Amino acid sequence: MTIALVGAKKGAMAEVADHVIVVNETHYGRAEDAQMGICHMLCYAFMENPEIAR
């Protein structure tokens, strides 16, 4: 399973992933900041619940 984390323009990554998380922002820096926060939340979810990573 693949999950793409993309900005508002989406691009080719959004077309090939099974699931897509879109940060609806076209400004590169703001989209990247939001994506970093999402990545941190995902990492903590996996660290606190390792059984979901299986």
Map out the domains of the chain as residue ranges.
3-53
The mean pLDDT of 10-38, rounded to a whole number, is 96
How far apart CA 54 and CA 45 sit, in angstroms, is 13
**pLDDT at residue 53, as a whole number:** 75
What's the pLDDT at 40? Answer: 97
Q: Which pLDDT belongs to residue 54?
A: 72
Within the chain, residue ranges assigned H as helices are 12-16, 28-48
> Cα–Cα distance between 49 and 16 in angstroms, integer?
27
Chain-centroid distance, C-alpha 49:
18
